[in-house]
Structures are given as C-alpha cells and as structure tokens.
Amino acid sequence: MPAASEVEIAAPPSGLEEQHAAVFTADAIAFLLDCYTRFRNDIQTLYDERCRRQLALNTSGELPMVSSQSARTDGDWTVAPLPDGLKDRRIDLGDVTPSDMTQLTAALNSTASGVQVDFDDGHCPTWRNQLLGWHHVMLASTGDMEMPPLEQAPVLMLRPRAWNMTEYNVLIGGRPMPGALTDYCLLLFHCGRKLAAAGRGPALYLPKLEAVLEARLWNSIFCWTEDRLQMDRGTIRAVLMIENVLAACEIEDMLYELREHSLGLNCGMWDYAASFISKFSRRPEFVLPDRGTNITMAAPFLTAYLRHALSVGRRRKAPVTAGMAPQVLPEDIELRNSIITSVVLAKRAEIEEGVDGFLAHDPKMIPALHQLWEVVHPGPEVAPDLSQLLAVPKGHITTGGIHENVCVSLMFIHAWLDGQGQFVHRGRMEDSATAEISRSQLWQWCRHRVPLHDSHGPVTLELVFTEIESAVNLLKKAGTDVSDAAPLLKSLIRSEEFIPFITTFLSQLPVVQDAP
C-alpha cells in the first residue's frame, strides 16, 4: 500500500499558492490516497477491458447487441426515489467551466435547476485551471461566493473528467492519477458533506462510460465514499451520461448497477455520434455523412437511442434528460428572438418525446425554456425501434462539410493551446464534443476514401491538408491565428489507427502536463 510520502503534488502556479494549500490539505491527500489504493486494480481492469473490447470489435466483425441481464434477474426493480432537492431536472446549464469565476457565478445566480460544473468537455485541464476549478467549487459549497444559499441556488452538478484523462500533476507511487478520480475525490472530500447537509446531493454527471463494469465501479466508489464520509447510503446521486454506442446497448444494466445512486440518464448527440467512428473505425458501413445536415436528433439512429433511454427510464423510474442547446444569444433583439424561437422548437420536440429535462449554455435562454415547460406536455409514448440503433444515416460528404469540420477542429485545438476548453463559433459554444465529431469524421473520410458529392474523386489526406492550410489563412484574415493547431490536427488525421479521444491526445502537450 502506498504511503502518504509517495504522493507527489506539483507546486502551484504563480499566484495560486493559497488555493493550492486549501485544496491539498493533509486530510484531502489521505482521502485521495486511500480511494486510489482501494480502487486502483479495478480502474486498471476498466482500462484493460476497454482495450480487450476494442480489439474484439476490430477483429471479430461482431456488433454489440442490446441486452438486459438485470431485467431477467429482477423484472420490477426501480432506482431509489429522488431526494426533494434533486427532483427538478428540467433545465441544467451546461459547459460551465469551474475555472471561470465569472461564468460560474452567473450560472449559480440563474434560475436553472442545476449547473453542470464541467471538468470534462468544456474545460481545459491545465494545472492552473484545475486548481482554480476545485477551489471555486469549494467556495460555492461554503457560501463564499456571490450566490444564493445552497438550498436556493441551482444544484451543483459536478462533472469530473472522464476515465480517459490523466492528472499529470498528482502522482502516487510515481504514477499519475486518473483525472476522473482526482476530480471526484477532491470535490467530494471538500464539498460532499456540505452539499448533503443542504439536501443538494452531492450530485454528479458521469461522462463517457462504456460498459456495465464501469457503472459498477462508480457505484462501489460511491459506497466507499459514503462510508468514509459518514453519509447515508444513496446520498450521492449521479446522472449516467450515455455518450457511447456500447453504453447505449447496456443502458438498463448500467442503470441497475447505479440504482441506489441514480439521478437518471442523459442523452447528448456529438460524443455519442463520434463513438460510432471510434468503436467501428475500420468498418466503412459506419461512415457518417456531413454532420450539419444529416446528424440531428431526428436522424433514425439518434431517435432510437433517445427513445431507448426513455423506455428504460420510464420502466425504472429514472429521469431522462436530453442534450445541450449551445447557442450564445447576441445583443441584437431580432436575431436573439429568432435564435430563441429555433431552440424552443427543438426543445419542444424533446419534451413531446417525453424527456424530463435538457441543458442550455446561455443563462439568458432560461426564461423562454421555463415558459416552454409550462405549456408543452409529453406526447404518447413511442416504443424504440432498436433495429435502428446502429443504422447510421445515409447522406453526402461535401467540401463544405470538410471545411466546417476543419475549422472547428483547428479552433478547438488552438483554444486548448491557450488553456481554454471552449470557444464561440457562429453563435454557438463549441467544446470537445463538437471537436471530437469534427476531427473523427475527417479521419474516417480519409481512411475510407469516401467520394465527395460536389467534387471529383475521394476524400484524401492531401485534399484535407490543403483545406487545413486554406482554413488557417481564412481564420487569420478574420483575426484568429490558428497556425499552431494545424500540425496537431494533421497528426490526428494521418494516424494509422484511430486515436480514441482528442482530449487524451492534447493532454500529452506541455500546456496540460507542465505546472507553470
């Protein structure tokens, strides 16, 4: 068993000495060490199983199938009833990076049901950002921010990093900590009991899970935490984010593992769509067309995915929420009203499908969405067509689709190099989810040499690399120099094997690994 002396924590960046000391107290380090020691073998099993499963998908030609062992074991099980303070799931603010005090404060002063405190998709995990993020959440949990009391503020919905991310500035026995466990341990140790006392959780979003084993691991971590922090069983609650096609086939069994700690299910679009490329990278029948016109929640494979989650949620009494409206509202009143109208139309359809909530990024969107919940009600339940779950949409690949994917990928990588996990593009907040689908499609189209609809010949590396240089020049003329991102994007696209996560790739860079 590692001793406390084997825990190495990087020195704080200049100016963050006080925050560093507040986060890494002796008791917090002991909690982190004990949790890691208890679960390190299980975490390694998770990584090994992901590799084994990917190898099987690459070599066997088999496809995942929807299964539900839990339904055969106990047909009547349901998740534990939600605490009163967590029942309202209608509107969460999403992509709220905890390192940005202004953004976090505005979100916690909004009338949203919850705030997704996002250490994952919308956050760049530099050492500075991590320390600020952890410390800001601590301040929120103790009431040391300009916000209502915890009992009246939106619920702090803590979203740790996914299991693919690593915290290079915290080492145990010379090995860097999993980012997911680092975020979880520090947030729960410092804030868990305070949130529980206020009847506001602690509540989490669990990103990018892929299998029953992973849900079981999180449940074990929750039980261990509750025992260690002397909280009642079931105090910790978590939204299971179904962001992976393999997870979509195991929704019911994953929910069963988390039934004592469930806060429901969440269905997004871009990470889920990108997982088709990641998991079936060698298979041309899973080539996705231009995402702007073909990949929407109305596409049959995404409709089947949402309805499958809704069916499980209704049967097991778990709320199901839909994805995020990423629009950032402009000052121009006419344009703002037009955007609100389009968002309301899309969210109306989700309410009619039967969702219990969804996310938005801009707090100014909340009044219109609250009004929507007052007047729109779910329609008749529609059974999911599970035969469509793996049926990717047919459509064209165009030069315009290549250009948009290149621009989003370049701007995201450039933002990361500047320590930012999100950026605004064409009036929408973009994060790693849209960057993931964008760079994944570029790799897939090159790998399978798919034909271009509006030009002669297939998509090739040469064609995409030419588009990258063109986009760099166009963006520079528009005032943004993304030339630093071009070599990295080319490396992602030319890779012989598909690189599973853009964030894993970028986290190898000094901007994240090195403590300034």
Domain ranges of the chain: 17-60+88-267+298-388, 399-506
Q: What is the pLDDT of residue 71?
A: 65
Q: Tell whether the model's pLDDT for residue 256 goes beyond 70.
A: yes
Cα-Cα-Cα-Cα dihedral sign, residues 45, 47, 52, 57: positive
Decide if 48 is catalytic: no
Of 200, 221, 118, 123, nearest to 154 by C-alpha is 200
Contact 272, 434 (CB under 8 A): no
Helix 179-197 vs helix 212-228: angle between axes, to the nearest 10 degrees?
Answer: 50
Q: Tell whether the model's pLDDT for residue 516 goes beyond 60.
A: no
Q: Tell whether the model's pLDDT for residue 481 goes beyond 80.
A: yes
What pTM was estimated for this model as a whole?
A: 0.96
Q: Tell whether the model's pLDDT for residue 221 goes beyond 60.
A: yes
Which run of H or E residues covers position 9?
Answer: strand 7-9
Q: pLDDT, tens digit, for every residue of 38-56?
A: 999 999 999 999 999 999 9
Helix 461-477 vs helix 399-417: angle between axes, to the nearest 10 degrees?
Answer: 60
Q: What is the pLDDT of residue 175?
A: 96
Q: What is the pLDDT of residue 366?
A: 98
Name the active-site residue from 50, 89, 90, 159: 159
Q: Tell whether the model's pLDDT for residue 1 goes beyond 80.
A: no
Averaged pLDDT for residues 171-187: 98
Confidence of residue 74 (pLDDT cuts 50, 70, 90): confident
Lowest mean pLDDT among 355-359, 367-371, 391-395: 391-395
17-60+88-267+298-388 and 399-506: same fold? no
Q: What is the pLDDT of residue 334?
A: 96
Residues sharing a CB contact under 8 Å with residue 63, sequence separation 6 or more, in sequence order:
390
Q: What is the pLDDT of residue 157?
A: 99
CATH 1.20.1220.12 fits 399-506, yes or no: yes
The residue among 421 and 516 whose pLDDT is bigger is 421
Confidence of residue 110 (pLDDT cuts 50, 70, 90): very high
Quote the CA–CA distance of 264 and 79 in Å, as a whole number.
8
Confidence of residue 456 (pLDDT cuts 50, 70, 90): confident
Name the active-site residue from 237, 291, 431, 447: 431
Cα 345 to the chain's mean position, in Å? 24
Strands (E) located in 56-183: 91-96, 114-118, 155-159, 166-172, 175-178
Averaged pLDDT for residues 501-515: 83
Averaged pLDDT for residues 141-165: 97
Averaged pLDDT for residues 238-245: 98
Q: pLDDT, tens digit, for every residue of 257-314?
A: 999 999 999 999 999 999 999 999 999 999 999 998 899 999 999 999 999 999 999 9
Phi, then psi, of 232 in degrees rounded to 5: -65, 150
Decide if 159 is catalytic: yes
AA letter at 270: W
Q: What is the pLDDT of residue 455?
A: 81
CATH number assigned to the domain with residue range 17-60+88-267+298-388, chosen from the 4 options 3.30.365.10, 3.20.20.360, 3.10.580.10, 3.40.640.10: 3.20.20.360
Confidence of residue 513 (pLDDT cuts 50, 70, 90): low
Quote the CA–CA distance of 239 and 356 in Å, as a whole number.
12
Q: What is the mean pLDDT of the chain?
A: 95
Q: Tell whether the model's pLDDT for residue 118 goes beyond 80.
A: yes
- Cα radius of gyration rounded to whole Å, the chain: 22
Quote the CA–CA distance of 264 and 313 in Å, as a whole number.
7
Q: What is the pLDDT of residue 70?
A: 65
Q: What is the pLDDT of residue 72?
A: 66
Averaged pLDDT for residues 399-405: 97
Q: pLDDT, tens digit, for every residue of 128-144?
A: 999 999 999 999 999 99
Q: What is the pLDDT of residue 511?
A: 73
